[in-house]
Amino acid sequence: MTEYKIALVGFGGVNRGLAQLIAERNAEWKATLGFSLKIVGVTDLFLGSIVAREGLDARQLVALPGEQGAFAQLPGGTAEAFNETIIKHSGADMISEATFTNPVDGEPATTFCRWALESGIHVVTTNKGPIALHGAELKDVARRNGVAFEYEGSVMSGTPVIRLASQALAGADIQGFEGILNGTSNYVLTRMKDGLTFNDAVAQAQQLGYAEADPTADVEGYDVRLKVVILANELLNARLTVSDVACSGISSISPKDIAQATASGASWKLIGSAHREADGSVRANVEARLLPNEHPLASVSGALNAVSFNTGLLGAVTVCGPGAGRIETAFALLSDIIAIHNRYSK
Ligand SMILES: NC(=O)C1=CN([C@@H]2O[C@H](COP(=O)(O)OP(=O)(O)OC[C@H]3O[C@@H](n4cnc5c(N)ncnc54)[C@H](O)[C@@H]3O)[C@@H](O)[C@H]2O)C=CC1
Ligand SMILES: N[C@@H](CC=O)C(=O)O
């Protein structure tokens, strides 16, 4: 039976969710998945850091108050975030990187991933910045160092779209996709339909753990733009950068627009899409669209997401599931760890 030593980088909603899954399910995983996880270090800019090669109590970590420097309250903990030490020297086999997504340059998360990969440590991450902005480089670093760089949760959180499309649909000739790829904006549009104001709906999405540290990224489409770049580069072999993707969001949609849409049997949705042109190039964009209620994406509501892959062999293949949420996204990290286990333990 394998025991993986894992270090958690960033200890907000998602990595706390992973710690909770470990606290509740590690024993079961031994029997069902053939491995267990031992948390050997945690580091967070706000909370500080802690390292214990013999393993930390996941339940105690989950119960840690969200106060500045809180790790100093635990034996061996400190109020300072010793990111580099935890990543390189905690004895971890893998890191779970879940710091904030920086849509401009992907830092400092990209550096965290590079430190780990160059040290021969696997990386699982839900952070969209490093993949959308530096994915090719990081994959190359991983390959050269014989370790994995996995990021299933970067698109549609726990709903397995990247692996499904790149593995199960390999050979189906994916020509493009369109989807609702942001939980927060979809939640906001849904709640506005129920009569909530835009600001109140955003505040609720923050409380529920769906929103980015700066929710502007959710409502202005920047988060979807990163996801479109990730999917297009992964599945359409494109080499898109964020500047190739025209992008607008939902912040200009008023309660009146929502009411008019409802009255006319339609719904506003923030759609990210990409398709291959006849000349082989890939075009992508992000925009709010008014979908008639008969459209397959129109009924996808709340923090649910859905993406429709347009394939040459099967026609449209649509996947729907959670697009955000702490435990939902922590599950994606688990699925990455399972993929690593299946690849490296044989
Ligand atoms: N919450 C969700 O539903 C989903 C989140 N994601 C992505 O997962 C990542 C984590 O998300 P959440 O846990 O919800 O965010 P969060 O905002 O709750 O937690 C992020 C944590 O990272 C820490 N942090 C920020 N900069 C740091 C640094 N330089 N060094 C160490 N720690 C640092 C913060 O103090 C915070 O505790 C983000 O990149 C997000 O975009 C992806 C899919 C879904
Ligand atoms: N803020 C994002 C989280 C997942 O990527 C969203 O709401 O979809």
Q: Do 138 and 239 sit in the same domain of this protein?
A: no
Work out which ligand 2 atom sits closest to the CA atom of 126.
5
Domain count, the chain: 2
Same domain for 84 and 132: yes
For residues 190 and 262, membership in a common domain is answered with: yes
pLDDT under 50 in the chain at which residues?
none
Domain that holds residue 259: 162-322
The minimum-distance atom of ligand 1 relative to the CA of 329 is 44
CA-based nearest residue to 21, from 323, 321, 330, 322: 330
Q: Which atom of ligand 1 is nearest to the CA of 127?
A: 39
Domain of residue 49, CATH code: 3.40.50.720
Phi, psi (deg, nearest 5) at residue 107: -100, 155
CA of 210 to the centre of ligand 1 (A): 11
What separation, in Å, do the N-terminal and C-terminal C-alpha atoms of the chain show?
12
Whole-number Å distance, alpha carbon 183 to ligand 2 midpoint, is 5
Residues of the chain above pLDDT 90, percent: 99
Q: Are residues 194 and 73 in the same domain?
A: no
Residues 247 and 333 in one domain: no
* 63 in contact with ligand 1, CB cutoff 6 A: no
256 assigned to active site:
no
pLDDT at position 297: 97
117 shares its domain with 214 = no
Distance CA 97, CA 81 (A): 14
Residues 120 and 23 in one domain: yes
Looking at the structure, tell me whether residues 62 and 196 fall in a common domain: no
Q: Which of 102, 212, 219 to mutate to test the pocket of ligand 2 (most atoms within 8 A of CB)?
A: 212
Expressed in angstroms and rounded, the spacing between residue 83 Cα and the centre of ligand 1 is 14
% of the chain exceeding 70 in pLDDT: 100
- Ligand 1: residue of 100, 212, 225 to mutate (most ligand atoms within 8 A of CB) is 100
What is the domain-level CATH number for residue 205?
3.30.360.10
As given in the structure block, the two tokens for residue 234 are 């992964």
Confidence at residue 341, expressed as pLDDT on a 0 to 100 scale: 98
Q: Within 6 Å (CB) of ligand 2, which residues are found?
A: 157, 182-184, 210-212, 218, 223, 323-324
Q: Are 197 and 91 found together in one domain?
A: no
Same structural domain, 167 and 40:
no
**Does the Cβ of 12 fall within 6 Å of ligand 1?**
yes
Q: Do 183 and 150 share a domain, yes or no?
A: no
What is the 280 CA–ligand 2 centroid distance (Å)? 30
Residues 188 and 235 in one domain: yes
pLDDT of residue 1: 82
Ligand nearest to the backbone CA of 208: 1
Q: Which of 5, 88, 128, 227 is catalytic?
A: 227
CB contact burial 159-190 (16+ within 10 A = b; e otherwise): bbbbebbeeebeebebbbbbbbbbbbbbbbbb
